[in-house]
Chain A
Amino acid sequence: MMSHHEPQSDADSVDAYMQQFARASLGDAKPLPDPTVIWWKAQRLRRVDAERRLASPVDIGELVLFGLGSVGTLLLLAMLWRTAASSRDPWISVGSVVAITVLVLASGLASSSWSRLPRTFVALFVACIVPAVAPAGQATSVVRQLPPPTGPFQIGRVTAHWSDTSRAEPLAVDRGPRELMVDIWYPADMGGGIPAGYFDSSAFEEAQSADRLRGLLRSAYESIRGGHVRTHAVEGVPLARSVRRAPVLIFSHGGGEARETYSAQLEDLASHGYVVAAISHTYEAVLTVFPDGRRVPLTPKRWPRPATTAIEGLPPSQEANPDRLRWWANDIRFVLDQLTKVDGQSSGSPFVGRLDLSRVGVFGHSAGGQAAAHACQIEPRLRACLNQDGLSAFAPYYPNDGWGMDQAFMLIVRNTPRELPTKEELASLGMTLTQAKDLLSRLDARQDATLRNTGRGAYRVLLEAAATTHADFTDLPFLQSTLPAETEIRARIIGTVRSVTRAFFDKTLKRLEVPFLDGHVATAFVEGVQKFEPANRPKR
């Protein structure tokens, strides 16, 4: 049996088996990935590659840079090697040594002047690296950092626990006051410190289960749970000295999301000088952890969908519950009150006398975006309002008597193509094609009308729907992507969300010139910027 010639019967039975196996269905096969999207993404990546090649210096400069880079790397390696010996968890440090080496080697190899590099030099370099790295083996842990913040400031963070005694929480056991957890991200000065944690996954696992957390984070589970994802912020450091009074932003997460998973956006704004307070809407965040250890999970059915709709032909489930919007908007208003209090105190936080309460903006994602808009409708101290992809029945806010808001407004929305329903869908809706077309155009008109009825003008920024998803305003698509091309695209989408968001607040709160908003600057993943002129509030 152990001869080198396999018995013919083996080959035959295996072949028959494989043929049958190949014909068997794959089970719950979804349709194949859309080739148009793949083609489109590839074009994007090719353009990025081309830009990169153009931007890289070609001549002797590259050689010099490479030399400098390798010397720097060797120094860095030596340093890391020493810390690795003393560190608590040497594998992490070893992992970073390997990672840096691979990075430098890869960038060296990829550079276009590869053929011009003296081979001996490269050989020497490799000879230095290999023995240093060899003992490390393969024990690298996967460390995925959030995209680096783009602003000039370092970042600080504090977490506040505030109780609103003016509102009873009906879901609390004792019907006590409404309690909120709020992260405040802010500009800080250069200085060391351990980066603040990203997500309290152990609390989540204790309150819910590892399976739930795995379901939520999917492929980002291991790295987040292992504590490998860190923020760029340091807890409790002083506010940057060069900032006299900082403009303030309040952020509201999407329904069933978590304030933590918007860190990439929030810390970027802080790095540009904004103080950003991010709320967890208790019972409607995936989990809210209080300092005394209480853990409040999501209560999904808190607000029933409205029973009627103002729009003919639309199922009421498409509309927001106004009670819920009001409740969230009151959370936002309460946080503004607390920030005002903190600013007026004599000590006890980095913000004493440092908040510019004449420049306060609010923004939110999804349900939070609508809540932000509603907060502006009820709170004139808020000066600017940004809604990130939060629509109900196509409207970015709750149309109060037809008037939007007095403040400046922006809607960032994915430009999803209007697909007409199929025959089956029409049947299930009980509609004719003409009726469906009519409904869609009425919904489009409804969105346009909301944008035309604001007191300081409005912007609508259209994101390319093919490449983006509703979740791209959170960190998760980026942290979950496991393949390099996908990771690169997700990082660039976060970059776009960051720059569009900041453009709006830079213009409306900092009064800066922002060329992007004048519509003449092309930005990746943005299909267009539409501007709506200010309107006059109708007299009652």
Chain B
Amino acid sequence: VIDEDAFHALYRDTAAPLRAYVARVLGGVGQADDIVQETYLRALRAPCSGYDPTQVRAYLFRIASNLIADHFRRQKRESPLGEVPERAAPARDDSARIDMARVFRLLRVRDRQLLWLAHVEGANYHELAEALGLREGSVRVLLSRARRKLAALIEARER
């Protein structure tokens, strides 16, 4: 079981990258902090979670990934017409930052998760499968499809 100082150290190391992941996949910072907080609460609350410092980062990203999936499921359910505003309309914008975020949001949620975890967090196939609840075999295919989609979007943007 982790003590308070160790938790603060863990939080210092992981909270910012975790929030970046959640915010980028959600497409905004607004709800991200709720999910970040809930992620740590769950991790801390889990009864006698074997605390292995090398695994804990992956563990946090796994919890957050589940919460993201819950979030979109709930949104789909609560949205009266069943439409999910997760895919923003393509629009031109002067700011490159916003433009990158727009392009990213054109992808499916699963693709965003795969791409972020693989390229920013450097997760391998095994870790991706663990985090997203997928079979290792399918991760390979799904990731390559996601890459292809993003590459096409980038190309379309540059043209």
Task: Tell me if chain B binds chain A.
Answer: yes
**Which residues of B come within 8 Å of A, CB atoms?**
4, 7-8, 11-12, 15-16, 19-20, 23-24, 29, 33-38, 40-42, 44-45, 47, 67, 71, 74, 77-80, 96-98, 100-101, 104, 115-116, 119-120, 141, 144, 147-148, 150-151, 154-155
Extra inter-chain contacts (15) besides given A14-B147, A19-B119, A485-B42, CB under 8 Å: A6-B147, A6-B148, A17-B150, A18-B119, A21-B101, A22-B20, A30-B33, A32-B11, A33-B36, A35-B7, A46-B45, A141-B77, A483-B37, A485-B45, A486-B37
Interchain CB contact under 8 A, B41 and A29: no
Judged by a CB distance under 8 angstroms, whether A482 is at the interface is yes
Cross-chain contact of B47 among A10, A38, A49, A141 (Cβ < 8 A): A49
CB-defined contacts of B79 to chain A, threshold 8 Å: 222
CB-defined contacts of B119 to chain A, threshold 8 Å: 14-15, 18-19, 22
Chain A at the B interface: SS class: helix
Interchain CB contact under 8 A, A33 and B104: no
Chain B at the A interface: SS class: helix
Assess A14 versus B42: contact at CB under 8 Å? Given A6-B148, A21-B104.
no
- Residue interface mask A3-38, B partner, CB < 8 A = 1: 010100111011101111110111111101101001
Judged by a CB distance under 8 angstroms, whether A436 is at the interface is no
Assess A45 versus B41: contact at CB under 8 Å? Given A6-B144, A35-B7.
yes
CB-defined contacts of B80 to chain A, threshold 8 Å: 222, 226
CB-defined contacts of A10 to chain B, threshold 8 Å: 147-148, 151
- The number of A-B residue pairs with CB atoms under 8 Å apart is 120
Among residues of A, the one whose C-beta sits closest to the C-beta of B116 is A18
CB-defined contacts of B116 to chain A, threshold 8 Å: 18, 22
CB-defined contacts of A484 to chain B, threshold 8 Å: 38
Interchain CB contact under 8 A, B45 and A222: no
Q: Which residues 209-231 of A sit at the B interface, judged by CB distance below 8 A?
A: 222-223, 226
Interchain CB contact under 8 A, B29 and A27: yes
Judged by a CB distance under 8 angstroms, whether A437 is at the interface is no
**Which residues of A come within 8 Å of B, CB atoms?**
4, 6, 9-11, 13-15, 17-22, 24-30, 32-33, 35, 38-39, 41-42, 45-46, 49, 138, 140-142, 222-223, 226, 482-486
CA distance A4 to B147 in the complex (A): 12
Interchain CB contact under 8 A, A223 and B78: yes
CB-defined contacts of A38 to chain B, threshold 8 Å: 11, 37, 40-41, 44
Among residues of B, the one whose C-beta sits closest to the C-beta of A228 is B78
CB-defined contacts of B45 to chain A, threshold 8 Å: 42, 45-46, 49, 485
What's the minimum C-beta distance from A139 to chain B, rounded to whole angstroms?
Answer: 8
Could you list 11 examples of A-B contacts with CB < 8 Å?
A4-B144, A14-B115, A14-B119, A14-B151, A18-B115, A22-B119, A26-B19, A28-B29, A33-B15, A33-B36, A482-B34
CB-defined contacts of A138 to chain B, threshold 8 Å: 77
CA distance A15 to B97 in the complex (A): 16
Interchain CB contact under 8 A, B78 and A41: no
CB-defined contacts of A46 to chain B, threshold 8 Å: 44-45
Assess A483 versus B34: contact at CB under 8 Å? Given A26-B29, A38-B11.
yes
What's the minimum C-beta distance from B154 to chain A, rounded to whole angstroms?
Answer: 6
Interchain CB contact under 8 A, B100 and A21: yes
Among residues of B, the one whose C-beta sits closest to the C-beta of A485 is B41
CB-defined contacts of B120 to chain A, threshold 8 Å: 18-19, 21-22
Among residues of B, the one whose C-beta sits closest to the C-beta of A20 is B100
CA distance A9 to B155 in the complex (A): 11
CB-defined contacts of A39 to chain B, threshold 8 Å: 4, 7-8, 44
CB-defined contacts of A142 to chain B, threshold 8 Å: 74, 77-78
Interchain CB contact under 8 A, B147 and A35: no
Assess A33 versus B33: contact at CB under 8 Å? Given A27-B97, A138-B77.
yes
Q: Which 9 residue pairs across A and B have the least CB separation, nearest first? A: A42-B44, A18-B119, A10-B151, A35-B11, A222-B78, A22-B120, A483-B38, A485-B41, A14-B147
